[in-house]
């Protein structure tokens, strides 16, 4: 019975994709900006590597499991003056599974970064790649035989996204346009397709003293023909070594977070989502763990070459 309920629930999400998000969500989005926005490719003058794994609604059969691996770096370029472009390149791998449905994305990214002065910068970037969508009916159960549900499906489609990013020394604003190619799904369903998903985010740094800063931020997503999704968070950073805070996702979760910088180049982050929607009756806990690595020199404090955001 649990498997049947799961299939019905997931089928509702997939076949009504116009009313729901087709993209995985992450509680640690503000620490992994390149996973969302291609404009972040090579924004730092060093190698930047991130890996994350998310287990959502644990205890709920067929609950989402997702993760990503990203790597970006600046390309060699000689800046002659402000407004001349500095270039960045990156790679993103995303995997997402919910019930018997799976999605895998592989994207390459290019970004151009234009400094108006030492602190103010505009970055523009694009993701290009492929997405593989699959449905495995092995564990599917229906009340009545349905050949459409029992048919295995798998296909590969083109994928592209655009991103813009503006940051100063103590604040940033980003715009992301996901799934620019509305590719239709041959199976399952007749009207389902990858739909356009716009979103924007922003944040600032409020310096309390030389050791403590407060980092408020937001992420606003606009699913196609569905209600907007809003993440609000407030983090407290101690000496750029330990960070903790709380976040709220409208109609879904309260999020607790803690992060620790290890040996100045590695950062370990953990988030725990407390589900506040009706789904808490089936699976109330969500765990998210990530590890980041950068080759930025710790002694370099310049936000110009190794920015805070």
User: What are the tokens at 87?
Assistant: 């270039």
pLDDT surpassing 80 at residue 16: no
Q: Which one has a higher pLDDT value, 144 or 103?
A: 103
Q: Confidence class of residue 3 from pLDDT cuts 50, 70 and 90?
A: very low
Average pLDDT, whole number, for the chain?
Answer: 83
Q: Confidence class of residue 160 from pLDDT cuts 50, 70 and 90?
A: very high
Share of the chain above pLDDT 70, in %: 78
Would you say 253 and 271 are in contact if contact means Cβ atoms under 8 Å apart? no
Nearest to 202 by CA among 176, 239, 240: 176
Q: Which one has a higher pLDDT value, 240 or 69?
A: 69
Would you say 100 and 119 are in contact if contact means Cβ atoms under 8 Å apart? no
User: What are the tokens at 133?
Assistant: 């969508």
What is the rounded CA–CA span in Å between residue 249 and residue 268? 22
Domains and CATH numbers, the chain: 2-294 (2.40.160)
Q: Confidence class of residue 6 from pLDDT cuts 50, 70 and 90?
A: very low
Q: What is the mean pLDDT of residues 253-270?
A: 93
User: What are the tokens at 178?
Assistant: 């996901």
């Amino acid at each position: 019975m649990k498997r049947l309920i799961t299939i019905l629930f997931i089928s509702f999400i997939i076949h009504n994709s116009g009313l729901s998000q087709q993209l995985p969500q992450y509680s640690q989005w503000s620490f992994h900006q390149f996973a969302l926005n291609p404009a972040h490719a090579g924004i730092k003058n060093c190698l930047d590597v991130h890996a994350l794994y998310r287990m959502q609604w644990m205890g709920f059969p067929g609950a989402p499991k997702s993760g990503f691996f990203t790597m970006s770096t600046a390309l060699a370029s000689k800046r002659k003056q402000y407004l001349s472009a500095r270039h960045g390149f990156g790679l993103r791998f995303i995997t997402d599974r919910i019930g018997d449905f799976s999605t895998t994305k592989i994207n390459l990214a290019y970004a151009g970064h234009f400094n108006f002065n030492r602190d103010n910068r505009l970055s523009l970037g694009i993701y290009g790649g492929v997405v593989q969508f699959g449905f495995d009916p092995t564990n599917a159960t229906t009340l009545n035989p349905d050949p459409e549900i029992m048919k295995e499906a798998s296909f590969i489609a083109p994928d592209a996204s655009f991103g813009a990013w503006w940051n100063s020394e103590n604040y940033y604003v980003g715009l992301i346009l996901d799934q620019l190619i509305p590719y239709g799904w041959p199976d399952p369903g007749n009207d389902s397709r990858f739909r356009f998903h716009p979103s924007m985010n922003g944040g600032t740094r409020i310096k309390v003293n030389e050791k403590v800063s407060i980092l408020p931020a937001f992420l606003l997503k606009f699913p196609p023909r569905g209600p907007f999704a809003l993440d609000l968070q407030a983090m407290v950073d101690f000496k750029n070594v330990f960070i903790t805070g709380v976040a709220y996702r409208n109609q879904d979760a309260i999020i607790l977070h803690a992060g620790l910088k290890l040996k100045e180049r590695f950062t370990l982050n953990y988030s725990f989502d407390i589900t506040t929607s009706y789904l808490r009756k089936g699976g109330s806990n969500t765990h998210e763990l990530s590890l980041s690595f950068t080759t930025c020199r710790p002694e370099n404090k310049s936000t110009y070459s190794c920015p805070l955001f």
